[in-house]
A and B are shown apart, each in its own frame.
Chain A
Amino acid sequence: MASKILKPLVFVSCLLPFAWLFWLGNTAGPGGSGLGPNPQEFLNRFLGEWALRMLLIALAITPVRLVSGWSGFMRYRRMLGLYAFFYAMLHLTSYVVLDQTFNWLEIWNDIIKRTYITVGMTSLILLIPLAVTSNNAMIKKLGPKRWRNLHRLVYVIAPLACLHFFMMRKGIQMEPLVYAAIATGLLAVRVGYSIRKRARQN
Chain B
Amino acid sequence: MLLKKNKSWDMKSIGLKPTDITPKHLFDSRRKFIANSGKTMLGLGIGAIAGGLPLMANMKTAHATTPLNAMKSMVHTLGRLGEEKLTEFDAATQYNNFYEFGTGKSDPYENSGDFKTTPWTVSIEGEVANRGVYDFNDLVKPHQLEERVYRFRCVEAWAMVVPWVGVQLSDVIKRLEPTSKARYVAFETLHDPDQMPGQRGFGFKWPYVEGLRMDEAMNPLSLLCTGMYGETLPNQNGAPIRLVTPWKYGFKSIKSIVRISFTEEQPPTTWNMIAPREYGFYSNVNPKVSHPRWSQARERVVGDGLFSSKRPTLMFNGYEEEVASLYADMDLQKNY
Contacts and interface: CB of A to CB of B under 8 A. Distances in A.
Nearest to B302: A37
Contacts of A115: 292
Contact of A38 (B204, B300, B309): B300
B292 A36 contact: no
A4 B292 CA distance: 49
B95 A109 contact: no
A113 B271 CA distance: 21
B306 A36 contact: no
Nearest to A116: B293
Considering residues A31, A99, A103, A169, which has the most beta carbons from chain B within 10 angstroms of its beta carbon? Answer: A31
A185 interface: no
Interface string A28-53: 00111101111111010000000000
Contacts of B201: 174
B105 interface: yes
A59 B294 CA distance: 31
A114 interface: yes
A169 B292 contact: no
Contacts of B203: 171-174
Nearest to A101: B309
Interface string B68-96: 00000000000000000001101101110
Nearest to A109: B295
Q: Taking chain B's interface residues, is the majority helix, strand, or loop, or is none over half, making it mixed?
A: loop
Interface residues of B, number: 34
A37 B91 CA distance: 5
A38 B90 contact: no
Interface string A84-104: 000000000000001111010
A35 B91 contact: no
A45 to B, nearest CB: 10
Contact of A172 (B91, B202, B271, B310): B202
A168 B203 CA distance: 15
Considering residues A38, A98, A101, A172, which has the most beta carbons from chain B within 10 angstroms of its beta carbon? Answer: A38
A41 B158 contact: yes
B159 to A, nearest CB: 10
A40 B105 contact: no
B262 to A, nearest CB: 28
A105 to B, nearest CB: 10
B58 to A, nearest CB: 9
A36 B104 CA distance: 12
A39 B93 CA distance: 16
Interface in A159-177: 168-174
Interface in B241-287: 271, 274-275
A44 to B, nearest CB: 11
Nearest to A113: B290
Contacts of B295: 106, 109-110, 113-114
Nearest to A115: B292
Contacts of A39: 305-306
A16 B67 CA distance: 43
Interface string B289-331: 0101111011010110111011000000000000000000000
16 contacts: A30-B88, A30-B95, A31-B95, A33-B306, A35-B306, A36-B94, A36-B106, A37-B91, A37-B95, A38-B105, A41-B300, A106-B295, A106-B297, A114-B294, A170-B103, A173-B103
Given A38-B300, A41-B105, A114-B293, 20 more contacts: A30-B90, A30-B93, A31-B90, A31-B95, A36-B94, A36-B106, A37-B87, A37-B88, A38-B105, A38-B158, A101-B310, A103-B310, A106-B297, A114-B294, A114-B295, A115-B292, A170-B293, A171-B203, A173-B203, A174-B202
What 5 pairs across the A-B complex have the smallest Cβ distances? A37-B91, A172-B203, A30-B90, A31-B91, A101-B309
Interface of B: 87-88, 90-91, 93-95, 99, 103, 105-106, 158, 201-204, 271, 274-275, 290, 292-295, 297-298, 300, 302-303, 305-307, 309-310
